[in-house]
Amino acid sequence: MPYLKMNKKCFIGIDTSNYTTSVAICDMNGNIIANIKKLLFVENGERGLRQSDAVFAHIKNIPQLSDKLREAICGYTPIAVGCSAYPRDAEGSYMPCFLTGVAVASSIAAVLGVPLMRFSHQNGHIMAALYSSGATEELINSRFAAFHVSGGTMEILDVTPSGNGFCVELIGGTDDLTAGQAIDRIGVAMGLDFPCGKQMEDLCFTEVHASIPKPRICVKSLHCNMSGLENLALKLYANTDNIGLVCDYTFSFVANTLDKLSENLRIEYPDIPIVYSGGVMSNSKIKDVLSKRNNTYFARPEFSSDNAAGVALLCRREFLNDK
């Protein structure tokens, strides 16, 4: 491995969520120099993967990403490897799909003789959002609120810096479906491929449709219900057969729900900075609604969806703090 003789040092991050296999590299200055990922294959008409199928899909994806990692890392010497080992920093938080990333990261670290560092998938999302949003070091090292909105999670978090990562307290979120689940269920029901978010966003702009009905959201304080969205959207589709209209309605419902939650958050936590992370937050229509509020931060789309960039950055942070 000739790159091991190079002087430039870097950190490797690995994330194996229930949707995407991801590897990333950041340099000593905290710049992401590679953010490589591949979606897990889902059969047409299915609304996701069982954990056993996700593990198998990651095993098939890893060799392809390893080849790309080898090319991207040329000229750098890895000095630590990080991985997502569990969904969130909470007792009992566990998903088998993350074991694949832990196994690969452990093997790389052992072969290279460098430290292995474990983080939560959620903290990786938060760090990636901070990195790509243009947040200052002052914000990263102070208290803020974070929305983690994805296919598997819809939570509002009170976040404070804690050593090498973040101390996260759950203060709100959905009481039933996540926004990502609702979006994918609606999309699959209309014949789209899972995951459906990007296809549905494109259809909002390419399909001609009339003004959307006013979404009837369900929000109480910092909690919401999303299961009604699926029923309302599919009823609208049955009545109109207009897929663009339904997609627009779906994202308006999610945006209005998150906007109301953000409003209530600022009542309980005045002036607190808000960071939006997770795959759903890559949607431009949702971001347009939420960005009207002051002191809000959004990850760029490639850092909103599942990725290992935040894990690589957390790995660098822990390595440097330990030194």
Amino acid at 6: M
**Are residues 264 and 308 part of one domain?**
no
Residue 72 has which token pair? 């991207």
Q: Which residues contact 128 (CB under 8 A, 6 or more apart)?
A: 277, 299, 303, 304, 307, 309, 310, 313
User: For all residues of the chain together, what is the average pLDDT?
Assistant: 93
Q: What is the DSSP letter of 180?
A: H
Write the DSSP string, 1-31: -GGGG-SEEEEEEEEE-SSEEEEEEEETTS-
Alpha-carbon distance 153 to 59, whole Å?
24
Query: Is pLDDT at 180 greater than 50 in this prediction?
Result: yes
**Are residues 263 and 207 part of one domain?**
yes
> Cα angle at 8 between 3 and 12, to 5 degrees?
75
Q: What is the pLDDT of residue 322?
A: 83
**Site of tokens 């479906």:** 177
Q: Stretch 195-201: mean pLDDT, rounded?
A: 95
Query: Is pLDDT at 198 greater than 70 in this prediction?
Result: yes
Q: Domain containing 263 — which CATH number?
A: 3.30.420.40
Helix (H, G, I), strand (E, B) or coil at 281: helix
In a domain, 143, yes or no: no
Query: Is pLDDT at 273 greater than 50 in this prediction?
Result: yes
Full strand arrangement of the beta sheet holding 116-120 = 32-39, 20-27, 8-16, 76-86, 116-120
Note if the bond before 195 is cis, omega within 30 degrees: yes
Segments forming the whole domain that contains residue 222: 173-300
253 near 204, Cβ under 8 Å? no
Amino acid at 263: E
Tell me the pTM. 0.92
**Are residues 290 and 180 part of one domain?**
yes
In a domain, 157, yes or no: no
Query: Is pLDDT at 243 greater than 60 in this prediction?
Result: yes
In a domain, 148, yes or no: no
**Are residues 224 and 263 part of one domain?**
yes
Q: How many domains does the chain have?
A: 2
**Are residues 181 and 119 part of one domain?**
no
- 134 burial type by CB count under 10 A (0-12 exposed, 13-18 middle, 19+ buried): exposed
